Amino acid sequence: MSYTILPERLRPGATIGIVSPSAAVVPGLRPLLDSGIAALERLGYSTRLGRNALLNHHGSGGTPRQRADDINSMFADSSVDAIICTQGGDTSNMCLPYIDFDIIRENPKIFMGISDITALLNAFQARTGMVTFHGNDVMWGFGRKMTGYDISEFTGRLSEARGGTVEKNSVWKTVRGGCGEGRLLGGNLRCLLKLAGTPYMPDLTDSILFLEAFEMTPEICGYLLAQLCQTGAFDRLRGVLIGYIWGLQSSAERSRLARMEDILAELSEGYEFPVVKCDDFGHNCSNTVLPVGAMARIRAEGEEPCLDITGPFLM
């Protein structure tokens, strides 16, 4: 997309719609959903569950059409100010043929999720030009103990439209030095690649790509990054920011395995785009909120590495 559509920021008392575009909210996880809803309401927001948000169809939150209907309805409803997904899963890309992109384009609003929701965040941005948001979901983010960093990043980014340098909650490390500027795209590596070869894949030309992963081994990481390379992406990227990789960092034993940043550096030998590592977004960690589709600058040269959000992302 050659243009950017900006949603409105979260106002006090805003109504947040809650949808389940991927995994079903099974009965055993309902307390986690209730906890997440309560956390949002403590922050001063009203919430509204999608009509199909509690369905279970083959392990997903309804049929693909039902899940898309909830998304379309939330965008079309003028009384809903923002939309946050219950959780990730595996099947959000099944919704894409039933999404009404005209409704999204005509009614832009904050749409946020993580993990498998990566497919929707990037597809919506690619097809409409609207900025979307990679950040905590209702269940596994808001539904568990939120850190001060989580809350500050959520309110700062979405209520105050705070851009500039992303606040750090971990040590940021330069893997390959340099500077780059471009459109911020990405999320979960495996889920982003579900869009490869489809009409929903964003154009990675001149992009800053941010990547995280949940279950991961060096072998899986290698073939996924090789696939990304074989799409031609490495020729077009202006920088890569790698977040917390739970499968390679969550225990002392796993931490002895090859890291995603090391595998990427090896596979991208000869390329010049900067690569930076941090632990400030991903699974089972505190999460900043990253605006998918906004302009950003990655700096890993002559100073502590950082990511600057340089372009507007909210009205």
Question: Which H or E run contains 207?
Answer: strand 207-213
Cβ atoms of 81 and 11 within 8 Å: the answer is: yes
How many alpha carbons lie under 13 Å from residue 279 in its C-beta half-sphere?
12
- The 10 Å Cβ neighbour count of residue 2 is 5
CB of 139 closer than 8 Å to CB of 33:
yes
Question: Looking at the chain, which residues constitute the CATH 3.50.30.60 domain(s)?
Answer: 164-309
The pLDDT of residue 302 = 76
Instruction: Mention every residue, 6+ apart, whose C-beta is less than 8 A from residue 261.
Output: 173, 175, 242, 275, 277
User: How much is the pTM?
Assistant: 0.97
CATH 3.40.50.10740 residue ranges of the chain are 15-158
CB 93 within 8 A of CB 171: no
Provide the residue-wise pLDDT of the chain in tens; the chain has 315 residues.
457 999 999 999 999 999 999 999 999 999 999 999 999 999 999 999 999 999 999 999 999 999 999 999 999 999 999 999 999 999 999 999 999 999 999 999 999 999 999 999 999 999 999 999 999 999 999 999 999 999 999 999 999 999 999 999 999 999 999 999 999 999 999 999 999 999 999 999 999 999 999 999 999 999 999 999 999 999 999 999 999 999 999 999 988 899 999 999 999 999 999 999 999 999 999 999 999 999 999 999 877 999 999 999 999
Amino acid identity, position 193: L
Quick one: pLDDT at residue 169? 98
Question: d(Cα 136, Cα 289) in Å, to the nearest integer?
Answer: 8
Question: How would you classify the pairing of strands 15-19 and 178-188?
Answer: unpaired
164-309 maps to which CATH number?
A: 3.50.30.60
Per DSSP, the three-state class of 107 is coil
Which residues are CB-neighbours of 30 under 8 A, at least 6 positions away? 54
What per-residue confidence (pLDDT) applies to 81?
98
Residue 95 makes CB contacts below 8 A (sequence gap 6+) with 21, 64, 67, 68, 71, 120
Please measure the distance between the N-terminal and C-terminal CA atoms of the chain and give it in whole angstroms. Answer: 19
Q: What's the CATH code, domain 15-158?
A: 3.40.50.10740
